[in-house]
Amino acid sequence: MKKIPIVRDGWSIILFFLFLSLTIGICLIQWKTTVLEILEIICISCLILSINFFRDPERTPEVLLKSEQLICPADGVVVGLETIREEYYLRTKMIRISIFMNLFNNHVQRAPYDGRIIAKKYFPGKFLSAFSEKSSLENEQCHLVIQVEANKKKKKIVLKQIAGLVARRVVTFPNEGEKILRGSRIGNILLGSRVDLFLPCDVKLQVKLYQKVLAGKTILGEF
């Protein structure tokens, strides 16, 4: 049986709006009122948006990948691209790529490179707009420190899932000590959010500021 491409955590929301839509639709058969018609339109719209938001399609890269290339971890727009000091773990200058996801983007995150999770840390926090610089410091988020091997050298990258103004839950699949494969699903953020990826400064970037990107398809750069 073919798997329905929907995030598991999204089924409860989808079924809730489906139930409301069917219930109001049955009521409309008996009592055709303007209020019920408006409610039905709202519920069906929310149902369609929920299905679109929680879709989980299979993804393949845009071109055949080289072994040292990094793949994009999230759908959205590159809203930040700078060299900055990573303060939490590695405490060194790194390239930070910030990807903003709106309500219409797919919110499944994927591993940017083969590696092993050497640290995982969840931080409860606020729900500021993901566009705000403060969101990377104050919002609910989960951090993954990933040890990778590129060009026969061990390196570390840091991936941060950051909740946004509407998003209220960060889900992260791999645990500390587990291996991940480039392009594999590593989590999702339930409902506008952001992913920050910290890369070593020797990575040759292949994305630009304000570029639209797709998780598991767009090439970010190369070691």
Active-site residue, from 50, 135, 136, 193: 193
Alpha helices, DSSP H only, in 63-155? 135-138
**Tally of residues, the chain:** 223
Q: What DSSP assignment string belongs to 5-72?
A: -B-GGGHHHHHHHHHHHHHHHHHHHH---HHHHHHHHHHHHHHHHHHHHTB------SSPPPTTEEEP
Please state whether the predicted TM-score (pTM) of the whole model is above 0.95.
no
Please give the Cα distance from 73 to 83 (Å, whole number).
19
Residue 102: the pLDDT is: 84
State residue 137's pLDDT score: 59
- Tell me the mean pLDDT per 10 residues along the chain, length 223: 70 90 92 91 90 83 87 94 92 95 86 96 69 61 93 93 71 94 90 87 95 95 94
87-to-30, 58, 97, 139 alpha-carbon distances in Å: 62, 34, 15, 16
pLDDT of residue 139: 73
CA dist., res. 158 & res. 142, Å (int): 11
Q: Is 45 assigned a catalytic role?
A: no
> Which residue type is seen at 199?
L
Rounded Cα distance between 217 and 74, Å, is 9
Q: What is the pLDDT of residue 1?
A: 43
pLDDT value at residue 175: 95
